[in-house]
Chains A and B, each alone.
Chain A
């Protein structure tokens, strides 16, 4: 299939405004005749559902949580980017565009990234109007801070809880529409499949997590805002329930999967403590503004950090990257931490940690100053580790955090299934091979508030919809498939729990498909995941019944899909014989250990097409053209 990215013609600054003019509109009075299902209520889902309803469409919103406000966007800490140039440090839309394309190691679409940078300023205005209490300076104006991969201060924040405040803003907009009756909201529903009829996405099949009932919902278009798949690695900073099921089922119905191997490993997380550990906790990378990262110069140094004199410390990021120092992008910071620990310089009981030290900042400013900026992060660290970071440097290590890959979408955010839109982290679009800090919130809200509501109108205005209801044979068939799938999970009746399989998968993924990847390891991983999948369907044990709230059954369904996706991630990583951003193939690096791209062969989006269970998926390519940003080797020196 030929992939059409539908990038509008013309100068990059004009593409979006021209496109908005070219798109067909739905007459205001006709909007109520169209219905849209939005799955997920994070930043992208809640903002899209609210905005579509404001425009007049009938919206069905659903999530597997009890309330829209529980979505994992809530956990984002650091901030949201916008090139307002309030800091007067030379920022511009163009600079944010350039930083994002470069930060993504030249594997994102220029036109999408430019549009993202363009609409990002509106997001800040929108959120302020909703009552989001952003940090302010003493004159009452909005405050900014800097973030990894940028040399300007363009990050807006609300203490260490920016994601929470932005999500509550989008949630409040959604509440208003629910109150007005324009959005019908269904809690505790997990989407298990999409229904495609006459080559149009026309509905979803979900499981009611309280009653166990399988339910069908019909509409004229479906929007997936179901987040990323970092939990394929088991231990990640994602919430426990975050999963790939919605996008994976869409993939199996014909939506292509873009760049699945582009996963982000976040450099500043609390290291793993023991086997019992259920997830990893991220500390906002804003900490790198004032914290300095170091390890002892001596291998296996067991002295306490305060016993190691200044001259015996290696501030390796400052040494390797004098101009960006501790503020290099995430992929670089993570890889260097792994490398230095692999060489034996790591600290802590496992040797898998480096220090993040605030003593200079405390001396330079004050403890109170640090407390005001990072208080909640310091408390969180103290709570988890029982070590006081005001006195002893934090110990940090990278952890899987975000997935740049996701369902392939065109410029209109539509997947390869007509009428199936994918927004936020669930799509592959704007971050290329590495996402810059404070850009996830920006993308989620840009998609939901300012892009999808326009582009979906064009589709609705130009398509014909056959009237259908949930009794249609297409719905009944998918409904039957899902009911059988649930029964199959319940009836294996083996010995191992879903959690055990998930942990085994995570270990394979982290060891062989994690920060350092190579051909031998990836091939081995593909075989091991395939074997593990066979074992899963022979030896799974799900306690309880399918007719009520059953956390074990929910988990089993999600793990079943991760066991398929994990293999696709490994396949994509194996095929991409270059290093770029978060994808580091050990065979392809410069003499200084930096990622070595191969633009001649791999400047494209890998869009994978499902070919059947246990069959090799088909690779489609969308070539990436760079007309405005020159392809260079990224340098943060």
Chain B
């Protein structure tokens, strides 16, 4: 397959950035989008040009490192997949493909397609945990958890922290990301003790980082590689209000 690529190039966070065009030939339809970029980069490197920087690691959709807006969609066409799982057979032969970084104020561009998502970590530092210490905990079976509850907590816990929800949202809201964690821990008996403080602190940090609010476009759920439901945003809202008024 042959493609024309329009890729965002930006030297560093202070550079203005621009699109550059590249032609790429004879790509296997079974190659992943990132493997296609590998081929492009190898060609560039051999010519002495700077390869396109992008984050990636596990290449099986679980580490959450990769994230490219492809043809206007976070992680490109397809549902429930990360960029690394996207195969070139999803595109028309001869197509022009546009690739750009996540665009959101709390995710400043570091270089080309690489952005700084440490704002997500800082939200997690502000309470994305149960304050248990190593040792001194009861037997794993001491507190039974109904299967549907454990399953729902697991649905939320599946978040890979890639930031596609933010990239897809017109308000750059991180509420699906924050909702997933708050929801997971609010559902489980172990998370009850710090339930209120957790919701308050994580939302406060989310706002401080400059993420927007949810206006129910549901774009986050549509682009989430783990298809996390917006119902977790609803639970976040309930948890937050509950914490504020009680």
Contacts and interface: CB of A to CB of B under 8 A. Distances in A.
Nearest to A445: B134
Given A130-B132, A134-B150, A173-B134, A65 B57 contact: yes
Interface in A167-205: 168, 171-173, 175-176, 178-179, 187
A87 to B, nearest CB: 12
B6 interface: no
Contact of B60 (A137, A281, A548): A281
Interface string A483-512: 000000000000101011000000000000
Contacts of B209: none
10 contacts: A69-B161, A74-B58, A74-B63, A75-B63, A172-B128, A172-B130, A276-B27, A384-B87, A386-B87, A548-B111
Contacts of B124: 171-172, 175
A277 B59 CA distance: 11
B190 A179 contact: no
A1 interface: no
A133 B126 CA distance: 21
Contact of A133 (B45, B116, B131, B153): B153
Interface string B114-145: 10111011001111111111110111110111
B125 A276 contact: no
A278 B35 contact: yes
B62 to A, nearest CB: 5
A273 B30 contact: yes
Interface stretch (A138-146, A290-298, A473-481): A138-146
Contact of A126 (B87, B134, B147, B184): B134
Contacts, number: 218
A135 B147 CA distance: 8
Given A128-B190, A187-B118, A383-B85, A453 B58 contact: no
Interface of A: 47, 50-51, 54, 65-72, 74-75, 84, 86, 122, 124-142, 156, 158-159, 161, 164-165, 168, 171-173, 175-176, 178-179, 187, 210, 239-241, 273-274, 276-279, 281-282, 379-380, 383-384, 386, 449-450, 453, 495, 497, 499-500, 541-544, 548-552
Contacts of B153: 131, 133
A175 B129 contact: yes
Contacts of B56: 240
B143 to A, nearest CB: 8
Nearest to A383: B85
A510 B206 CA distance: 47
Contacts of A544: 50-51
A542 B153 CA distance: 46
Contacts of A168: 157
Contacts of B34: 278
A277 B35 contact: yes
B81 A383 contact: yes
B56 to A, nearest CB: 6
B190 A380 contact: no
- Dominant secondary structure of chain B at its interface with chain A: loop
B214 interface: no
* Top 3 A-B residue pairs of the complex, sorted by shortest distance between their CB atoms: A140-B144, A172-B129, A129-B137
A276 B157 contact: no
B207 interface: no
Contacts of B44: 543
A54 B137 CA distance: 15
Nearest to A497: B45
Contacts of A84: 140-141
A541 B57 contact: no
Contacts of A165: 154, 157
A553 to B, nearest CB: 11
Contact of B57 (A70, A159, A173): A70
A70 B188 contact: no
B158 to A, nearest CB: 7
Given A122-B135, A240-B59, A70 B130 contact: no
A273 B39 CA distance: 15
A75 to B, nearest CB: 5
Contacts of B38: 276, 278, 499
A277 B31 CA distance: 7
B227 to A, nearest CB: 10
A543 B49 contact: yes
Which of A66, A72, A141, A499 has the largest count of B CB atoms less than 10 A from its CB? A66
